[in-house]
Homo-oligomer: A and B are copies of this chain.
Amino acid sequence: MTTKKFLLNEQDIPQAWYNVIADMPVKPQPMIHPATHKPITAEDLYPLFSRAASDQEVNYTDRFIEIPEEVRELYRIWRPTPLVRAEGLERALDTPAHIYFKNESVSPVGSHKLNSAIAQAYYCKSEGITNITTETGAGQWGAALSLAAKHFGLELAVYMVKISYEQKPYRRSIMQTYGAEVIASPSMSTKAGRKVITDHPNYSGSLGTAISEAVELAMTTPNCKYVLGSVLNHVALHQTVIGLEAEKQMEMAGEMPDTVIACFGGGSNFSGLAFPFLRHNLVNGANIRFIAAEPESCPKLTRGEFQYDFGDETGYTPLIPMYTLGHNFAPANIHAGGLRYHGGGAIVSQLMHDGLIDAVDIPQLETFKAATMFARSEGIIPAPESSHAIAAAVREALRAKEEGKKKVILFNLSGHGLIDMTAYDRYFSNDLSNYTVSDEEIAAGTSQLEKLL
């Protein structure tokens, strides 16, 4: 197992987040209003999000945005996180490649999600907001926001997709332990929820419905804002503390990665690790390769279309310019719940479109095989989401071996899997499958996109 860690001091926690948009050769297109077809401004977002988050969402010019001292202070609960040279995994693969991973699993909620949860909760608090609301699928984001809300004394209501609420009671309990109210969605607490329940009494919920409920609650409750855990530009921004720390740590290791890998759901942990390194390509002419690792069952970057689409299933959000499988695409019920999202964020999608980053999609069984190898060689049981990054890193390391090349690979361990052991159980019992998506399914999902504009 690996014991070569590169550790920073608390003073090394970044002072500012990195806003990659400022350095992009082609800027992301703006979000647009589905009715007026006009670009969305910060002011348009104020009713829904905190002002600070709304301003950050459309900030295309400031390269670095200061991290408030109160946020940096809370980052110190678990940051800086370690960078680890995965020598155990290298030995297990017998590869000449050097493999590094940034260990975001050490946060008290077990994932990187806390980086943005703290920032967003802080902004709400500092603007006098008393209540916040969000949706969560598997529960990683909901758990992180529950901790952050408790710290800042905000009341939090989390709409949790009903099937996860019932099947993943551990994450629900974690949120409740931190003091959040957790509501199975669809619920009777909103118009949107009541309609779904009335129309489909046995419906087990979807992220789309949960988003609608949270948005409705925020719009109809005084002094309440909606908070989102991925996809949006300001969330990607907050996550760049990951890559900014990793940059310093790779320097300590005396190497620069030539391949940077992270798993991909809506883009939050990928953006967080990749953007600070991407800057070396954009500004200094470096030639680092970036790989977003998505599930074979939800291949928006590798097989989706670059189009305007809704951020939610039911079409309540602004239209976002993104690689998408269509907002009605229903991903298979894989265990990497955090990657079951139909679209990528605007920044990542533009970078993908411009050939500045790559993507791969990986079958579920390959991710669990890689995860088990990682657990046995590095001692840490990874989250099913993070296992997509590990599987992609394994592919690259084996390619290096075939080609007899030394390679320096860096991936993000976005979370641990201690609360996902049911998934491992099923893997060891040969009770898991791969889920492929046919061209027809993809065409069905994306064929209606052009009508949206």
Query: Across the two chains, which residue of chain B brings its CB closest to A114?
Result: B379
Asked if A363 lies at the interface with its beta carbon under 8 angstroms from chain B, I say no
Known contacts A5-B76, A76-B5, A381-B177, A418 near B421 by CB under 8 Å: no
Asked if A41 lies at the interface with its beta carbon under 8 angstroms from chain B, I say no
Query: Across the two chains, which residue of chain B brings its CB closest to A372?
Result: B177
Encode contact with B along A97-119: 1 for CB under 8 Å, 0 otherwise: 00000000010101000000000
Among the listed B3, B77, B88, which residue makes an inter-chain contact with A76, where contact means beta carbons less than 8 Å apart?
B3
CB pair B422–A169 under 8 Å, yes or no, is yes
Asked if A441 lies at the interface with its beta carbon under 8 angstroms from chain B, I say no
CA distance A88 to B178 in the complex (A): 14
Interface majority SS (helix, strand, loop, mixed), chain A? helix
Which chain B residues border A45 with CB–CB below 8 Å? none
CB pair A428–B147 under 8 Å, yes or no, is no
Q: Which of A77, A147, A151, A380 has the most CB of B within 10 A?
A: A77
CA distance A73 to B428 in the complex (A): 31
Number of copies of this protein chain within its complex:
2
Chain A interface residue bracket vs B: 35 or more
Chain B nearest CB from A106 CB (Å) reads: 6
Encode contact with B along A160-186: 1 for CB under 8 Å, 0 otherwise: 000000000111011011110000000
CB pair B1–A5 under 8 Å, yes or no, is no
CA distance A9 to B5 in the complex (A): 11
Asked if A74 lies at the interface with its beta carbon under 8 angstroms from chain B, I say yes
Q: Which of A7, A375, A419 has the most CB of B within 10 A?
A: A375
Which chain B residues border A174 with CB–CB below 8 Å? 381, 418, 421
CB pair B173–A1 under 8 Å, yes or no, is no
CB pair A1–B177 under 8 Å, yes or no, is no
Which chain B residues border A421 with CB–CB below 8 Å? 169-171, 173-174, 177, 419
Query: Across the two chains, which residue of chain B brings its CB closest to A375?
Result: B177
CA distance A211 to B157 in the complex (A): 47
CA distance A111 to B424 in the complex (A): 21
CB pair B380–A150 under 8 Å, yes or no, is no
Encode contact with B along A341-380: 1 for CB under 8 Å, 0 otherwise: 0000000000000000000000000000000100110011
CA distance A71 to B424 in the complex (A): 29
Encode contact with B along A378-419: 1 for CB under 8 Å, 0 otherwise: 011100000000000000000000000000000000000011
Asked if A94 lies at the interface with its beta carbon under 8 angstroms from chain B, I say no
Which chain B residues border A150 with CB–CB below 8 Å? 376
Query: Across the two chains, which residue of chain B brings its CB closest to A179?
Result: B376
Query: Across the two chains, which residue of chain B brings its CB closest to A380?
Result: B108
Asked if A10 lies at the interface with its beta carbon under 8 angstroms from chain B, I say yes
Asked if A425 lies at the interface with its beta carbon under 8 angstroms from chain B, I say yes
CB pair B376–A173 under 8 Å, yes or no, is no
CB pair B169–A425 under 8 Å, yes or no, is yes
Asked if A2 lies at the interface with its beta carbon under 8 angstroms from chain B, I say yes
Q: Which of A7, A173, A419 has the most CB of B within 10 A?
A: A173
CB pair B170–A418 under 8 Å, yes or no, is yes
Chain B nearest CB from A6 CB (Å) reads: 11
Which chain B residues border A169 with CB–CB below 8 Å? 421-422, 425
Known contacts A74-B3, A77-B3, A428 near B380 by CB under 8 Å: no
CB pair B1–A10 under 8 Å, yes or no, is no
CB pair B74–A1 under 8 Å, yes or no, is yes
CB pair A173–B425 under 8 Å, yes or no, is yes
Encode contact with B along A134-176: 1 for CB under 8 Å, 0 otherwise: 0000000000000100110000000000000000011101101
Query: Across the two chains, which residue of chain B brings its CB closest to A425?
Result: B173
Known contacts A170-B421, A173-B421, A108 near B379 by CB under 8 Å: yes
CB pair B379–A173 under 8 Å, yes or no, is no
CB pair A2–B77 under 8 Å, yes or no, is yes
CB<8 Å pairs between A and B, sample of 28: A1-B77, A1-B151, A3-B73, A3-B76, A3-B77, A5-B10, A7-B10, A77-B379, A88-B151, A106-B106, A108-B380, A169-B421, A169-B422, A170-B419, A170-B421, A173-B421, A173-B425, A173-B428, A174-B421, A176-B424, A176-B428, A177-B376, A177-B381, A177-B421, A177-B424, A177-B428, A418-B418, A418-B419
Further pairs besides A174-B418, A418-B418: 13, Cβ < 8 Å: A1-B77, A3-B74, A7-B9, A88-B151, A106-B106, A108-B381, A110-B418, A169-B425, A170-B419, A173-B425, A177-B381, A178-B375, A179-B376
